[in-house]
Amino acid sequence: MGFGFELLKADGKARRGRISTLHGTVETPVFMPVATLGAVKTMTPHELEELGARIILGNTYHLYLRPGHEQIAATGGLHGFMRWKGPVLTDSGGFQVFSLGHLRKITEEGVRFQSHIDGSYHFISPEKAIEIQEALGADIIMAFDECTPYPATREYATASMELTERWAARCREAHRREGQALFGIVQGGMYKDLRERSLEGLVKIGFHGYALGGVSVGEPKEEMEAIVSHCAPLMPDDRARYLMGVGTPEDIVESVAAGMDMFDCVMPTRTARHGTLFTSEGRLIIKNARFQDDERPIEEGCECYTCRHYSRAYLKHLFRAGELLALRLNTIHNLHYYMVLMASIRQAIEEGRFDRFRNEFYYKRGRVLDTPAT
């Protein structure tokens, strides 16, 4: 069986769905841990599976530069190369190329850029992006897009959005791999009407799913939420909706409330490596002196390996001492927190109580909502 998406339940705008792929099913809303270079930092595939991760994200730009998509293809794609049995999504590399700034030049044909590794020159076109992702063997791949920066003038955002649409059509034409889904990416900056135009153009081309890109690129949180809340309900009901690069637990809850289904971010793993841990009451900075003699787990009642075996005092000691074990234990906890959060969201939608869940989520953080879900 190839790719498919089924909408199982709606609770307000929040959606409960199921994605089917050649490598298994994924229950949505879902958070995808980021395996930039073919590995979720400090974690083995087996550990990810035990934590409840069912789909991970690989980065086309980085894997193209090293070790190269040809080598990965020769080992059976990312699944064989990294020994991950579940579904994989790869982004197109558009955001990473965007991040290179002065090291890249955008033209109608594609993007010429210098490697951040050795300064060598490369060129990625929409067709090349599809070729790389097909070689990587991902279950879901993304159309090549130009990630509109923030801030951007209306003139620039319009030109960028139109270029992304033309590139999307070329990606659709180039895509050949059976059983592999191709998602289009909605651009348009912070301009709602441009976002609408972008989505309309992509729907006419026709994709297996639709992603909202160009958010979380420096804009105020209020503007991001406004764009997500405006665009999500306009996206096709029978297609998966993916919010790229988001984000914090609060971002995810609000975006589910708006109608999004899929999320990815380096947040849980990156913050873990910097000593920030997620709990139901907010963030905990483990290096703080107040944890010196604290024998409690990171969070009471948490069932992750770290909380079942180690105290805050020990984790603080490991982190301050620079022990690599600290990075692993912190990452295990943060990813477990995200997996439990998504499972709780799915259950709340199934039971028709997502608004109550959202209010309780914020209440534990000391915030009382005076507005319903968007």
SS3 sequence of 145-192: CCCCCCCCCHHHHHHHHHHHHHHHHHHHHHCCCCCCEEEEEECCCCCH
Overall size of the chain counted in residues: 374
* Mean pLDDT confidence for 120-131: 96
pLDDT band at 371, cuts 50/70/90? Answer: low
Give the tens place of pLDDT for each residue, 184-220: 999 999 999 999 999 999 999 999 999 999 999 999 9
Among candidates 273, 271, 223, 220, which has minimal Cα distance to 248?
271
Q: Is the pLDDT of residue 372 over 60?
A: no
Q: Which domains does the chain have, with CATH numbers?
A: 4-265 (3.20.20.105), 272-363 (no CATH)
Phi-psi region at 152: left, alpha or beta (left = phi > 0; alpha = psi -120 to 50): beta
Active site residue 238: no
Which residue of the set 11, 251, 261, 264 is catalytic? Answer: 264
Active site residue 264: yes
pLDDT band at 369, cuts 50/70/90? Answer: confident
Give the tens place of pLDDT for each residue, 15-49: 999 999 999 999 999 999 999 999 999 999 999 99
pLDDT band at 373, cuts 50/70/90? Answer: low
Which residue of the set 11, 91, 145, 261 is catalytic? Answer: 91
pTM of the model: 0.97
At residue 243, the pLDDT reads: 98
One-letter identity of residue 179: G
